[in-house]
Amino acid sequence: MKDATRSIVGILAVIFLSFPAMASDYKEGEVIVKFKAPQGAARSMIMGEESRAVTIAVDDTETAISEMQNRADVEYVEPNYIIKAESIPSDWPYSATQWGDVALPEAWDFMESAGSVQAVIIAVVDSGVDMDHPDLRDILVGGYDFANDDSVPEDDAGHGTRVCGIIGALGNNGGVAGVAWNTDIEIMPVKFMKKDQSGDTTGSLSDAVNSIYYAVDNGADIINASWGFSSYSRSLEEAIRYARDHGVLFVTSAGNSGQDNDANAHYPSNYSLDNIIAVAAMNSSGDLSTFSNYGLNSVDIAAPGEGMKSTDMGGGYVSWISGTSYASPFVAAVAAMVKSQSPEMSCQSLRNIVISSATKEDGYRFDSIASNGCVNAKQALLAEESLDSSSKETGSTSQTQNTASSPAPSGEGGGGGGGGCLIDSCQNPGSALTLLVIMILAVLFRMPRVRRLG
């Protein structure tokens, strides 16, 4: 139901885009274009720079779109939309009540005992990060700044630093503790937004798309996107599909307009791709936040996003921040906990575990979102442990997608990860004997496939 509804919304959006009126703000004088591949080269091309959309300068955006959409060599053309971060003013009433429903202390105990099998890389596609913040600097890995076209994604808006803090701020140091603070994680800051002249945190669609490709190509396991807008973009959908095809989970905010996303689409959360988790915000009373978007078919799960505390620029901390911007990284961090226990897990299985393990208790008002509940870190870890144990007993792997609970959208591939090879060297085994040994081992032990990026 959810994926079918998303597909219909996407189709309608494509039709709507062909009309001159455009719902979201965009950069005048630029369009995003994907040209069709030459007939002779189409057979040999693989996904890469050649097949991606490009940004070009034009005299007038609407005129250029009208002219180019009818050209035989153009696959699609769209405006270079302006994207906004999805936080709300920091004077939202703060509640000191603990978030008991998401079972974080129990999850931390689990991680303390189990440890991490492998480090998980979370790309925060946002406004950058305070790279010298004492709570974050030790878990940061190289990123990029597409807003300024350099390799130093330093935050000038604060939004990205706060998102990163929700994920992994160092605990037990008198500041704040991120959700996955005692999990082996690495945060890759990829900046495409910055503070504009009005003080808002904004960025262009083209930079967001480039940021996603960069994150995938540089080893991200999970991408967090705490931003959104109302217009369908094919280039953004292609970038997220590229992430899916490389086994990358995409966690994104549902939006802060208090609207039903089933009726009024919000992107990227409304795309019908099975690597997306769309996150609503909840308050400490166990209710959906009044500002949070919702949608029985388009929003997956709720997470704390009202009256939060996190890291801030200048090495400090900030309280009373609210928005689905901060609910999304909460879920991304829980997903990282689970992924750290089963590195071979597909993005579809990871998504299913996080959503299906949600807290669903009497008295909760989450009947307007797909899972009918809020994220539960401990239950997600127990679900992973149970799945891992079951896989060992049956000889299957945890990459098997739970198609009953989350079927792949029509026309979409059912699983993430790369290729059909069992190990990276299988495309060039060196000898028939080596290949035979690999095949025998695969049959006997059901070896999990190793995901290759890029």
Q: Which residues are catalytic?
A: 126, 159, 325
Cα angle, residue 119 at apex, residues 113 and 125 outer, rounded to 5°: 125
CA–CA dist 92, 73 (Å, integer): 50
CA dihedral 123, 127, 128, 134 (to 10 degrees): -110
Cα separations in angstroms, 271 against 252, 395, 396: 11, 34, 30
Residue 328: enclosing H or E segment and its boundaries?
helix 324-341
Reported residue count of the chain is 454
Nearest to 283 by CA among 366, 352, 162, 159: 366
The type of residue at 383 is A
CA–CA dist 289, 361 (Å, integer): 17
* Packing angle of the helix pair 347-356, 324-341 (nearest 10 deg): 120
Bond into 105 cis (ω within 30): no
Nearest to 355 by CA among 395, 307, 302, 305: 302
Nearest to 401 by CA among 343, 445, 345, 357: 345
CA–CA dist 178, 329 (Å, integer): 10
Unique residue bearing structure tokens 């802060």: 256
450 C-beta neighbours (distance < 10 Å), count:
15
Q: How many CA atoms lie within 13 A of 206 on its CB side?
A: 21
CA–CA dist 435, 428 (Å, integer): 9
Which three-class secondary structure state does DSSP give residue 27?
Answer: strand
The sheet carrying 120-126 orders its strands as: 144-145, 185-191, 120-126, 222-225, 249-253, 276-282, 301-304
Unique residue bearing structure tokens 């008991």: 100
Unique residue bearing structure tokens 């396991």: 221
Q: Is the CB of residue 260 less than 8 Å from the CB of residue 232?
A: no
